[in-house]
Amino acid sequence: MSALILLILSFHCWSVEQDWSASYLFESQGLYDKAIEAIRLPETELNGSSLVVNIDMQQFQNGNKAETVEWVSQMESILSTYEFTLMRIAWLHYQKRDYSQSIDEYRKVIKLNPESIDAQIALLSPLSRLNRWKEVAMVSCQVIESSPLSYQAHLFLMQAREKNKNWTALEDEARILIVKFPTAVDPWVYLGRALQHQHKIGDAINAYQQVLVRYPNNMEALRYLQSQS
């Protein structure tokens, strides 16, 4: 029990020392290293959910149900702050264009909380910046599997299909998104691209006309339709 007390006290002290206001101020000034330092993490990494479960089981076995609830509550609070800190550090590394480190930090969040849709979607941005399109497609599909209505995941998947020149898959994905988000312009743009690369000229014209219904000044659609007139 003493080891657990020390662990909680250690992370409690760490969370108290974090200066979130300073971190956001430094970020607004473009001082990303200082923004990270203001909320720096301790050396030890937590394995969140399994740690809470282990504490829970040990205390119930000892018959200390009240203490279990208290400890688990404290650990959940600490883990929540820890997870958010990792997310913010990952974002700050992304802001400073350190995309590899940003990916590493987001993966730490996913390891801590495999169900975090936030972290999985955020991971897609640095992956795309490094042109790791196969990974973008894989992560996007994972998000869509658990959260079918995630527009961002679908959008990243379309980008990956385009970069991989998988025009048939891009067409299929665009049509799926058009049904789910009929007012959105992006799926129609990607559908137009997919169709023109498959030399489906008539369908591409129809797709780009739908783009102009939603965004009359879209230059890509205007240029394509002019080229076909």
Helix axes 117-129, 151-163, angle to 10 degrees: 30
Mean pLDDT of 198-218: 97
Domain assignment present for residue 16? The answer is: yes
Structure-model confidence comparison of residues 121 and 4, the more confident one: 121
Q: What is the pLDDT of residue 18?
A: 77
Same domain, 145 and 218: yes
Report whether pLDDT(223) > 90. Answer: yes
Number of structural domains in the chain:
2
In this structure, are 143 and 228 located in the same domain? yes
In tens, the pLDDT along 59-110 reads 545 556 555 555 556 667 777 888 899 999 999 999 999 999 999 999 999 9
Residues 6+ away with beta carbon under 8 Å from 28 = none
Rounded to whole angstroms, the Cα distance separating 115 from 217 reads 40
DSSP state of 185: S
Phi, psi (rounded to 5 degrees) for 188: -70, -35
Checking if the pLDDT of 220 tops 60, the result is yes
3-state secondary structure of 115: coil
* Residue 119 forms part of a structural domain: no
Q: What is the mean pLDDT of the chain?
A: 85
What is the total residue count of the chain? 229
Q: Is pLDDT of 126 > 50?
A: yes
Task: Judge if 109 and 2 occupy the same domain.
Answer: yes
The runs of H, that is alpha helices, within the chain are 2-17, 20-28, 32-37, 48-61, 65-95, 99-112, 117-129, 133-146, 151-163, 167-180, 186-197, 201-214, 219-227
pTM above 0.85, yes or no: no
Same domain membership, residue 59 and residue 19:
yes
End of a domain among 83, 114, 145? Answer: 114
Together in a domain, 96 and 146: no
**Which residues form the domain of 91?**
1-114
Closest to 204 measured CA to CA, from 216, 217, 191: 191
Q: What is the CATH number of the domain that holds 137?
A: 1.25.40.10
**In this structure, are 64 and 148 located in the same domain?**
no
Note whether 106 and 140 are same-domain residues. Answer: no
| 150-161 per-position pLDDT tens digit | 999 999 999 999
* pLDDT at residue 48 is higher than 60: no
